Amino acid sequence: MILRSARTARVLLIRPGATEFDDQRRIKGNLDMPMSERGRQQVRSLAEQISEFPLKAIYTAPGESARETANWLAKGRSDRGRNVPTKVVEAFRNIDHGLWHGKLIDELKRNHPRLYRQGQDAPTDICPPDGESIREAKARAEKAVRRVIRKSGNDMIAIVIPDPMAWVVESLLTGEELSNLWKAETDSGEWDFIEAEAERSWYETKSPSRK
């Protein structure tokens, strides 16, 4: 799905600071976890990296690490006399990984090699036991993305959302196909600037925080 618009939409897509499960390469899914010490360090760095972007609103997933990150970023701006409202969007909650919660990614790779390859090459139809498929999560996120983009007008906004849901949202914004679920599982503390020029019908992605 490529979002089409007659105007410019400007989005900072921000991965919250890491949790202990990210540090351990465990699947966190929609477990509500605080940031680890590494995660807090990442957010301090994030705040400096994006300090000059003229954000008008910050939308965040409901999980603790996302809310902590969003509040930290908003507070940093408030300290400089720039109040940026934050709003929790329930539909941005992370993907429900069911019985996979807490499992090591390397454990899945070792015990389920075919499933692991599917997650790398064609992850859309993956659905963990008692969980939510990637396809279902994408449909849920699509409506929320459309709403916040429509509401933003020409203003720049931030969406703070953990991976792998951030990976899904980035796919919606850019029109790129999903690939490599396992890499997305533990990405954290990064940001992408995604914009659409008014005369074009696709999104261009710039990723200054990624190497």
2 in a structural domain: no
* Domain that includes residue 131, residue range: 9-206
- What pLDDT does 44 receive? 93
At 151-162, the pLDDT tens digits run 888 899 999 999
What are the backbone dihedrals phi and psi of residue 157, each rounded to the nearest 5 degrees, phi first?
Answer: -125, 165
Q: Answer yes or no: is pLDDT of 199 > 50.
A: no
Counted domains in the chain: 1
Dump pLDDT digits (tens) for 100-116.
999 999 999 999 999 99
**What was the pLDDT predicted at 4?**
46
Do the domain assignments include residue 4? Answer: no
Confirm whether 166 is domain-assigned: yes
Q: Is residue 25 part of a domain?
A: yes
Is 206's pLDDT higher than 60? no
**For residue 49, pLDDT beyond 50:** yes
> How confident is the model at residue 209, as a pLDDT?
53
* pLDDT, tens only, 117-163: 999 998 998 999 999 999 999 999 999 998 999 888 889 999 999 99
Q: Is residue 38 part of a domain?
A: yes
The CATH number of the domain where 177 resides is what? 3.40.50.1240
Q: Is 1 a member of any domain?
A: no
